[in-house]
Homo-oligomer: A and B are copies of this chain.
Amino acid sequence: MINKLITQIKKTEAPIVVGLDPTLKMIPEHIIKSAIEEYGETLEAAGEAVWQFNKAIVDAVYDLIPAVKPQIAMYEQFGIPGLAAFKRTVDYCKKKGLVVIGDIKRGDIGSTSEAYAVGHLGKVKIGNTSCYGFDEDFVTVNPYLGSDGVNPFIKICKEEKKGLFILVKTSNPSSGEFQDQMIGEKTLYQMVGEKVAQWGEDCMGDDYSYIGAVVGATYPEIGKIMRKVMPKSYILVPGYGAQGGKGKDLAHFFNEDGLGAIINSSRGIIAAYQQEAYASFGSLNFADASRQAVLDMKEDIATALSAR
């Protein structure tokens, strides 16, 4: 799957992943109204609105990008109907040829991590039949529980030819509270990054490992360091756009080959029509606004990469 991701990044010339993280506030009124007319003021209506919103955006941008990253929390807030919209989104994006990164940040003790890995990347045997639960291509993983919380995910990735992005340094303001603490001469995130590199050694695609890392765009200097610590790991970089990360900050996350990183933007793309720069599209044409925002992001990153 890491090879497919890289092939699609090269083909689209866009090291970009669109975060499908909808809240009801981002969804145009006409979609919500129509869903409530059909399902009443219920979780089912929210799930339907989220799905219709996602589908329109995916239809408008899928030819420009290699991958999407639905954030499962945004679906889980609507209970079972929300998670059904998550699954529908995953399936639709895969049908459109996109690589799907499930942003699930799971992680637990061994036997429990195995259940998460099976549910999101692998298959479970029921009687004599193998059934897939959510079936994403990559997932994000929280490393706080150490190797035996991560290994079950790696095992399923090997079996299914899928991949991981492990949290190293997250994009939020308080990420340093624990992650930046010094352990001897190293920070905790460096220590985790070294582990990611080590876990990834045995999991190589053609040029990169399918065990990647998450490092926030909001910490470009850390990106520079971590790029060297994990030379063969793909870095998933959240925090571009709405969270404050800028194109020029991103060059550090890439290798000399122009590969090695994929930049996520969520609100900046999917809620583009609510921003001043794209307001002229209007809420009826929200998906066209998203397309334009992808084109602009692509140019911003290309400029940053060619200027280095």
A119: chain B residues within 8 A (beta carbon): 73, 76-79, 82
How many of chain A's residues have a CB under 8 angstroms from any CB in B?
Answer: 74
Q: Which of A93-101, A181-189, A224-232 contacts B (4 or more CB under 8 A)?
A: A181-189
Please report the C-alpha to C-alpha distance between residue A21 and residue B115 in the assembled complex, in whole angstroms: 10
Q: Count the copies.
A: 2
Q: Which of B83, B125, B142 contacts A80 (CB 8 A)?
A: B83
A66 in contact (CB, < 8 A): no
Tell me whether A45 and B126 are in contact in the complex, defined as CB-CB below 8 angstroms, given that A73-B106, A77-B119, A178-B146 are known contacts. yes
Contact A146 B174 (CB under 8 A): yes
Please report the C-alpha to C-alpha distance between residue A134 and residue B142 in the assembled complex, in whole angstroms: 22
**Which residues of A approach B to under 8 Å, CB–CB?**
21, 23-24, 32, 36, 41-43, 45-46, 71, 73-74, 76-80, 82-84, 87, 105-110, 112-113, 115-116, 118-120, 124-129, 131-134, 142-149, 167, 170-179, 181-184, 188, 191-192, 195, 238, 243
Nearest chain B CB to A191 CB, angstrom units: 7
Interchain residue pairs with CB less than 8 A apart (10): A36-B126, A45-B126, A77-B115, A79-B133, A109-B170, A144-B144, A145-B172, A146-B179, A149-B174, A183-B188
